[in-house]
Structure 1
Amino acid sequence: MTSPFELFQRQPSYVRSPYAHTPDAEPDVPTDVERLHKERRSRVFPVVTAVVGFYLLNALLANVAGELMAARLVGHLNIGLALALLQCATTLLVCRWYARYARTTLDPLAERVRAGLEPRGSRR
């Protein structure tokens, strides 16, 4: 005979969440989300910090060291223009790097998280 407490502990199948996971079939969603955040933070934040730091250094030099920035390198190309062109090039390279990094590393992790969050009956 079952006790009344056991009846309240078990939930009928219609009350169970459709997001419930079996450990062997579904990915561990919290672990995958943590891994996704860790992967993004570990690679993206240092690169963004370097690019923003380079931009701020360029702006600081333009305001403080006007004579240095006006020094000619070749023909009409001075140090200020060269640094500005280098800033554009590094921004373009970082954008291309991030697109490739997101496509190869972050997107598969996000797909695993998304697959783990879908209800069981709604898979395509």
Structure 2
Amino acid sequence: MVAFVKGILEYNDGENIIVDTGNVGYNIMISSSVSDRLGHIGSEVKVYTYMSVREDAIKLYGFNDRDEYDIFRKMITVSGIGPKGAMGILSIMTPDDIRFAVLSSDSAAIAKAPGVGKKTAEKLI
């Protein structure tokens, strides 16, 4: 498992980044909130990662900090919310916003995320 990647930011399209760690470039899927807080191309970055291993693909998902990573891990345990849906939620909400929405049963706020419908948002609550 890859806990984090630290290196030079080589590419950022808002959904994916490539981090050069020496002689290896890691392609990492990110939310728009991660993209907004990364430095510019050529700067050193540290991205916490979750490695998704499936039969047809191995993907890295990246986060600004452990709080984002931890809430992502909790969200993907909910039936119907996979890594893509959890990243969609993190694109529009901070971890604190997500916690508040869950505690206040505000599934409508969560359902605004791309790829997350009303029923899936209600499962998260």
Structure-1-length-normalised TM-score: 0.20
Task: Identify the structure with the greater helix proportion.
Answer: 1
Task: Identify the structure with the greater strand proportion.
Answer: 2
Q: In terms of Rg, which structure is larger?
A: 1
| Larger relative contact order, structure 1 or 2 (CA cutoff 8 Å, min sep 6) | 1
